[in-house]
Structure 1
Amino acid sequence: MRTLVSLIVAIFSLLFVIPAEAGFQAKHLDAKQTIKIDGRLDETVWQQAVPHDTFYQTQPIDQRKAHLKTEVRILFDQAAMYVGIKAFDSDPSSIRDSFSRRDRITIDQDFFALYLDPTSAHKSAQIFYVNARGTVMDGIFSDSAGEDSSPDFDFDVATARFEGGWSAEFKIPFSSIAYDKGSHTPWSLLVLRNMTRDQRYRMYSGGVTRATNCNLCYSDTIDGLDQLPSNLSWSLTPQFVARQSTDQTVGQAAQRQQDKQFSLDFKIRPDSATTVDLTLNPDFSQIELDSPQLSGNTRFSIFVQEKRPFFLEGADILRTPFSVISTRSISNPDAGLRYTRRDAQSDVSVIVAKDAAGGLVLIPNTYYSSSANATQSSLATDARVNWRFDTMSLGLVATDREYANIDAYNRVFGPDFVWQIDRNQGLRTQLLLSSTTAQPDANGDLAKGNTTTGHAFYTGWSKSSDAWSIGLSARDISKDFRADNGFFSQVGFQSINNDLTKKWGRIGMWHEFNTYVSSEYKLDSEGNILSKSIAPGMNVAGPFDSSIYLNFNPVLKSRANADGEIYNLSRVSTGFAISPSKQIARVSADFMVGDVIDYLASRLGKGGSASFGAKLRPFDRLELDSSFATNWINASRETATGDRAYSETAIQINSVLHFSEMDTLRLIVQDSRTNRNPELYVSAVAPESTRTVNSLVFTRRVGLGSAGYLGWTQTKSETPGFVAKRKQSEIFAKLSWQI
């Protein structure tokens, strides 16, 4: 009888007793309880917090419980939220924990990532990473635009080893999180644990699947996180730069210049949801060099990512299907003001910046990109607001560029709409209208001209399942559309794109085996075919986080200019990537061979491209990131069979030596060169053009916003017979300290 009663009680408990919460439970610290951020989680209060230990694997095998245990605990007080994570490991000696630079955590390392969404709208999240060595990465994530690690937040984290794994302690001040104190919606959190050994294991605290296009939809709520502060906070960051530069062109006297510059960044948060940033005379000497890109045989401008700190606050709010706001268009700001607000229902961002004269303004066309000289200073204004309605959001964007003294402008305005139909299906639409009076004159300078108007329209739908995925998109951009505060390299076309993928699942050693067909149909504003293609292919993923793809483009039609013929091209592309070990962290390569249009000669030739990348860690304190890319074209049979008409190469070696967690020495070596055979061109062309850049920077970081830099940069360029040899060098010292 007792056994029967016990059995009934046990069954009753399983059926009717409230189970442990699947989400996160935050425990409030009392005034006497403190946390030492050392990564060890050895304070008693950590054991009193309820752990979240249900993780799901998406790689290498999808939709499976994680094979290793991970525990997440959350504490908070009136100043900060604390997140403690323990990662249990069956082979702790294999944990990948090399030194890395801030914001350079990659998939070949063991790391934790927090995706923190105070709105629980599942549209975007602040991200906080730490690898097993203690290197941090932070930024903004959205399912529509991916991760942007450029923004930096003030937070503290430490890691430690324990018998059977490693652990981390995060301290994230509430002053670093944008949230609406008045909202009653619980915050949400998604935690990712990454480890790469013989396989890459990607494990989430929610049941994220490969088919989803909404990772944040699998976030869990953080219950118990209440009575949060909303106090005034601010920071002031003075910066001082001293530099000496030399500019020497062969045949001319050397120009030498010494300069001292003082700049100021001011940030104030009047409440938890609002941030105001002000910058005066900003200097960006510490910003890493942009990687060299192949551009000798392209008709269109190449996008360059924003890296300057002032423009990165709330950068995700500015992202829309079109790059209507690209802050790199503000080339040399004298001053800037930014307002950002995030609450439960909406996001708002407004930027106003005074841009000094002397920059270039992108002028897009249908068959090429050109530029105009901004000989006058300008005032750039970008405004973006986004309202959320459950699974939908409605946005508005407005940009304005006013050019001083010439009474001319460029203005863009329009709405956009996002609907997350379900976790695997989404729809995005945007409409933009532009009005422009700033037109290029005969000298290539901007001047006041006739008013031109234009439009840009985009709509895209995607749906995915375990067996199939499909994406459809359409664009319509009129020839007179222009966005001086954004990035549009091509206008005056209509296009339809389609991607259809069949997922075959696991086959032999491959964890994923997919076949796909991509297609494009593109017309210019006169109804002529710009390009038309159908490209089948396949890709697989396997051990050591390896991947291989093969793509065929048997019939590609492309037109080089409005009056030219339409070329029939055939191409084959392939590539691979793999993470074989801690020392050889990542190796990748891409190849293409087939028909290539030589745009300068307006003819078709045989050619191709190849690119290689390697991330090497010969020992813990040294990072080596190298890249090499090349393009080539052989002249057509009608001109000279097999002769090389054009080739271009670009190489970068980016190495960082870590003396300590605060002290690093970064060396960057870049070389790019273009070669052409003058006998194979009707117009005069340069046989060779070269450009090399060397940069050496020592950095000592004391904390966020407080650092010292000592650097040297040298640039050499030459185009024999066209541009004289030129050498520019600079030595600079920079000090910034945050108050």
Structure 2
Amino acid sequence: MSSRLLADTVDIPNLSAQLVVDGQLNEAVWQKAAAFRLNYVTFPYDNIEPPVQTTAFVFYDAHYLYVGFKAEDNTPERIRSHLKDRDMVWSDDLVGFKLDTYNNAKFAYQFFINPDSVQIDSLANEFDKTSADDWNAIWKASAQLTPNGYQAEFKIPFDQLSFVDSTQLKNWKIELIRRYPRNLDYHISNVKKDKNQECELCQMQNIRGFTKATTASQLLVTPTVSLIRQKQREHWQADNWQTDDSVQLGADINWQINSNSKLNATINPDFSQVEEDSAQLDVNTTYSLYYDEKRRFFVENSDQFGSLFDLLHTRNIAQPEIGVKFVNRSEKHSFATLLTNDESTFVQVPDILSSRIVEYQHKSTNAAARYRFDSSKYFSIGGLATVRQSDNYHNHVVALDSKYSLTDSTAIEGQIVWSDTAYPDSFNQTDPKSGSAWQVKLNHNQRNFWFNAEYQQIEQNFRADLGFVSSVNRRHQKVRAGYVEYDQQSAWNQFEFWLGGEKKSTLDNQPIEDNVEIQFNVKGPKQSRISTGAGIQHKVGRDLQQGLFNTNFAFFYGEMNLTPTVFSSVLLLRAKAVDYANNRQGDKFQIQPIVKWNLNKHLNVEVIHTYENMDSAGDDLYLVNLSDLRFSYQYNHSHKSSLSLLYNNIKHNLQNYPNSDPAKYQKLSAKFVHSWRFDAFTAAYFGLSVNMINNEVLQQLTTQQKAVFFKVSYTF
């Protein structure tokens, strides 16, 4: 094999391949591939010699990129690998690579597999430092255990990638990576990493070739059928069940127009949501809860719409019937647009100290467009526009943003946004008309010192109804600085101390919140992390004129892999807090333990429990126990059963909480799903769900809603 280790630029050979992707690098063509040694531990240490040997091999033909790995291990019995859903094995042993096909250090594809051949694919975005696991491609990979470790083969179709489609010599970047989780979680790479550089994608290996790489227009059509039977009743009407049977048809269309452009269209996108939302506390809060998007059409390429303000949160589009999304990426330009309808319009109405959701029972049209120009690895500028339009209602938003790297360690970014809004009379809200918002951030990251500062301002009449901006008439200032020390000789390998302060006020300088916080963090053996800190904080209640309450706090957080198969963490919080119901000061205590246990390759259990209680006026105010319990059994790569149980138990002291809901309230939600997922798009699901409630009137958990559904999608 031709070894060209860490040359400035490595030539990737064009080879004719007739190989079976089985994880065994026994075909002769691998002997001619470009070879790379993974010689550097880039995390948690600085480019030291790795504890294991890893070699990667790369070549291509006209239609595919091929990457192979030989991952040697002195103790192969300790290899961590599990059968789980796609993109859910980040804590396992992994091999894979990042690929920047435009060589502009702004965006990279990521492909990984574990030794059980479970795939991970995602998009790394240097602009906002995110990694989008929700991106899915169709590609092949396989791994095989060996007496001395394991081997892996990747076969990536060029029509799943975006690049300059020409016969000219192409210059790309690659980083070949091995994740080796033992007492520490080693990240092993073929390139050195400089912690004094703020840009990570700039530090990848230059490769060239791919003159014969071609891509063809590809059309994938995925029709979907869903059968749903749902029964529900008011809990006080024991025999009055309302039954709703429905057969719903939908389809997704994915058209890869060329190597730069992709068009997605959908009809009835994900009308039966398979995944259960995570449990969240909804007590003693004045703002609407934030839920992640899970519908595939909206999730795919959602990173293209990212910005400093959250201006596109597609969970706001509650009941779409049809949607179209177009994405184009090139070396310096990226463009994305989204257009959908919505059968019922839900609008978040923000205020200074609270927000509420209003349902406007009219259809609406929803659109977004995002453009970004990356003139170099140092400078980007872009724009974002959203539109929400209905009868007697509209919200139009236009934004400009930019990011500039002053040095390799320092970057400044900012965004300015304008909105124009008209509310219908049914909102019982003053028509906000036009408003604006802007913010600027400065980030400085060096090996041993970091600093960031942020200033944000939102006018009273600003609205971003397709996004998630829950408060207005705000001025927010934040500064933080930290010192980090690394120990190259010890399992206790990273120590960090930081100090920061922030202040929130109205635009006419009425105080809302201020705090000064210190925090100490350490990383150590068994992949442990400990964080502890305290803050001097003051916060307003429901009345700006009443002044600020003392809300000082202290916390402890610790996490650790107790064994190779058991992860555990715990959060402890003691704080002064605002009793918003009575607009007075209280005392809050919260503990949140988490346990994730891989009982074997197939069975996984996750438990998250939150206990919170609050005292006010010298007596109990409320007590909450919130449990999120999930079981999953993965039979093989495509076949899985899962059960989720969400339990919420709230008790109020009515003598101290006279304006509360009932003194006792319980809710139990259960969902069972049996699934077959054959690739990124073809799948079948069978599921059951039950929702139960209890209060002081019912005196027992009573079923309020139950449903059964079957959903199948097939890609042509």
> Residue 337 of structure 1 corresponds to which residue in structure 2?
324
1:414 to 399, 402, 424: 399
Q: In structure 1, give the amino acid aligned to 2:158.
A: F
The answer as to whether partners of 1:26 and 1:224 remain within 8 angstroms in 2 is yes
> Residue 501 of structure 1 corresponds to which residue in structure 2?
482
> Residue 214 of structure 1 corresponds to which residue in structure 2?
199
> Residue 381 of structure 1 corresponds to which residue in structure 2?
367
The answer as to whether partners of 2:38 and 2:176 remain within 8 angstroms in 1 is no
> Residue 70 of structure 1 corresponds to which residue in structure 2?
54
Answering whether residue 20 of structure 2 is matched by residue 36 of structure 1, we say yes
> Residue 10 of structure 1 corresponds to which residue in structure 2?
none
| Equivalenced residues, count | 706
Give CA deviations for 1:218-240 in whole Å, capped at 9, x if unaligned.
Answer: 11222122232132111000111
> Residue 688 of structure 1 corresponds to which residue in structure 2?
664
Give CA deviations for 1:537-570 in whole Å, capped at 9, x if unaligned.
Answer: 2111101111101111134444543233211222
Measure, in 2, the Cα distance between the counterparts of 1:270 and 1:251. Answer: 56
1:195 to 176, 180, 183: 180
- Residues 434-513 of structure 1: matches in 2 within 5 Å? 434-439=419-424, 441=426, 450=431, 452-506=433-487, 509-513=491-495
1:303 to 286, 290, 312: 290
2:272 to 271, 276, 285: 285
**Once the two structures are aligned, what percentage of the paired residues are identical?**
21
Shift of 1:594: 2.3
More displaced 10-residue stretch of structure 1: 534-543 or 58-67:
58-67
Shift of 1:325: 1.2
Answering whether residue 32 of structure 2 is matched by residue 56 of structure 1, we say no
Shift of 1:680: 0.5
2:519 to 537, 553, 556: 537
Shift of 1:657: 0.6
Measure, in 1, the Cα distance between the counterparts of 2:215 and 2:114. Answer: 31
> Residue 711 of structure 1 corresponds to which residue in structure 2?
687
Shift of 1:205: 2.7
What secondary structure does 1:441 align onto?
Answer: helix
Q: In structure 1, give the amino acid aligned to 2:438.
A: F
Give CA deviations for 1:387-410 in whole Å, capped at 9, x if unaligned.
Answer: 11112111100000011xx24210
The answer as to whether partners of 1:516 and 1:536 remain within 8 angstroms in 2 is yes
1:266 to 243, 253, 269: 253
The answer as to whether partners of 1:613 and 1:627 remain within 8 angstroms in 2 is yes
Measure, in 2, the Cα distance between the counterparts of 1:364 and 1:145. Answer: 28
Measure, in 1, the Cα distance between the counterparts of 2:326 and 2:171. Answer: 25
Measure, in 2, the Cα distance between the counterparts of 1:201 and 1:118. Answer: 26
More displaced 10-residue stretch of structure 1: 390-399 or 91-100:
91-100
Answering whether residue 706 of structure 2 is matched by residue 729 of structure 1, we say yes
> Residue 129 of structure 1 corresponds to which residue in structure 2?
112
Measure, in 1, the Cα distance between the counterparts of 2:227 and 2:186. Answer: 47
Aligned-pair Cα RMSD in Å: 2.1
Q: In structure 1, give the amino acid aligned to 2:21.
A: I
What secondary structure does 1:47 align onto?
Answer: helix
More displaced 10-residue stretch of structure 1: 468-477 or 67-76:
67-76
- Residues 606-617 of structure 1: matches in 2 within 5 Å? 606-617=587-598
Measure, in 2, the Cα distance between the counterparts of 1:19 and 1:352. Answer: 47
Measure, in 1, the Cα distance between the counterparts of 2:495 and 2:172. Answer: 37
The answer as to whether partners of 1:84 and 1:167 remain within 8 angstroms in 2 is yes
Q: In structure 1, give the amino acid aligned to 2:60.
A: F
What secondary structure does 1:115 align onto?
Answer: strand
Measure, in 1, the Cα distance between the counterparts of 2:67 and 2:529. Answer: 34
> Residue 649 of structure 1 corresponds to which residue in structure 2?
625
Measure, in 1, the Cα distance between the counterparts of 2:526 and 2:220. Answer: 44
TM-score (normalizing by structure 1): 0.92
> Residue 529 of structure 2 corresponds to which residue in structure 1?
547
Answering whether residue 102 of structure 2 is matched by residue 119 of structure 1, we say yes
> Residue 393 of structure 1 corresponds to which residue in structure 2?
380
Measure, in 2, the Cα distance between the counterparts of 1:365 and 1:113. Answer: 47
2:336 to 345, 349, 361: 349
> Residue 412 of structure 2 corresponds to which residue in structure 1?
427
Q: In structure 1, give the amino acid aligned to 2:636.
A: S
Give CA deviations for 1:634-660 in whole Å, capped at 9, x if unaligned.
Answer: 123xxxx2x221122221111111122
Q: In structure 2, give the amino acid aligned to 1:394.
A: I
Measure, in 2, the Cα distance between the counterparts of 1:158 and 1:303. Answer: 38
More displaced 10-residue stretch of structure 1: 58-67 or 153-162:
58-67
Answering whether residue 237 of structure 2 is matched by residue 256 of structure 1, we say no
The answer as to whether partners of 1:671 and 1:693 remain within 8 angstroms in 2 is yes
Shift of 1:81: 1.1
What secondary structure does 2:31 align onto?
Answer: helix
Q: In structure 1, give the amino acid aligned to 2:576.
A: D
Q: In structure 1, give the amino acid aligned to 2:445.
A: S
1:575 to 551, 557, 578: 557
The answer as to whether partners of 2:541 and 2:583 remain within 8 angstroms in 1 is no
Measure, in 1, the Cα distance between the counterparts of 2:582 and 2:590. Answer: 18
Measure, in 2, the Cα distance between the counterparts of 1:602 and 1:192. Answer: 53
> Residue 243 of structure 1 corresponds to which residue in structure 2?
228
Measure, in 2, the Cα distance between the counterparts of 1:47 and 1:526. Answer: 71
The answer as to whether partners of 1:648 and 1:674 remain within 8 angstroms in 2 is yes
> Residue 9 of structure 1 corresponds to which residue in structure 2?
none
What secondary structure does 1:580 align onto?
Answer: strand
Give CA deviations for 1:346-365 in whole Å, capped at 9, x if unaligned.
Answer: 110000001112x4211111
- Residues 655-674 of structure 1: matches in 2 within 5 Å? 655-674=631-650
Shift of 1:123: 1.6
The answer as to whether partners of 2:305 and 2:312 remain within 8 angstroms in 1 is yes
What secondary structure does 1:666 align onto?
Answer: strand
Shift of 1:472: 0.8
Answering whether residue 339 of structure 2 is matched by residue 362 of structure 1, we say no
- Residues 17-166 of structure 1: matches in 2 within 5 Å? 21-30=7-16, 33-107=17-91, 109-143=92-126, 144-166=128-150
Measure, in 2, the Cα distance between the counterparts of 1:283 and 1:570. Answer: 44
Gaps of at least 5 residues in structure 2 are none
Measure, in 2, the Cα distance between the counterparts of 1:338 and 1:217. Answer: 30
> Residue 630 of structure 1 corresponds to which residue in structure 2?
611
What secondary structure does 1:513 align onto?
Answer: strand
Measure, in 1, the Cα distance between the counterparts of 2:247 and 2:297. Answer: 21
Q: In structure 2, give the amino acid aligned to 1:263.
A: G
Alpha-carbon spacing, 1:163–1:38, altered in 2? closer, same or farther (3 Å): same
Shift of 1:210: 4.6
Measure, in 2, the Cα distance between the counterparts of 1:560 and 1:203. Answer: 51
Q: In structure 1, give the amino acid aligned to 2:122.
A: G
The answer as to whether partners of 1:178 and 1:273 remain within 8 angstroms in 2 is yes
TM-score (normalizing by structure 2): 0.94
The answer as to whether partners of 2:588 and 2:614 remain within 8 angstroms in 1 is yes
Q: In structure 2, give the amino acid aligned to 1:611.
A: Q
Alpha-carbon spacing, 1:438–1:129, altered in 2? closer, same or farther (3 Å): farther
Measure, in 2, the Cα distance between the counterparts of 1:177 and 1:132. Answer: 24
> Residue 371 of structure 1 corresponds to which residue in structure 2?
357
The answer as to whether partners of 2:587 and 2:614 remain within 8 angstroms in 1 is yes
The answer as to whether partners of 2:5 and 2:37 remain within 8 angstroms in 1 is no
Alpha-carbon spacing, 1:628–1:317, altered in 2? closer, same or farther (3 Å): same
The answer as to whether partners of 1:120 and 1:185 remain within 8 angstroms in 2 is no
Measure, in 2, the Cα distance between the counterparts of 1:385 and 1:184. Answer: 27
Measure, in 2, the Cα distance between the counterparts of 1:496 and 1:555. Answer: 14
Q: In structure 2, give the amino acid aligned to 1:572.
A: A
Measure, in 1, the Cα distance between the counterparts of 2:427 and 2:14. Answer: 68
Shift of 1:713: 0.9
Answering whether residue 145 of structure 2 is matched by residue 178 of structure 1, we say no
> Residue 527 of structure 1 corresponds to which residue in structure 2?
509
What secondary structure does 2:122 align onto?
Answer: strand
Gaps of at least 5 residues in structure 1 are 1-17
Measure, in 1, the Cα distance between the counterparts of 2:428 and 2:662. Answer: 24
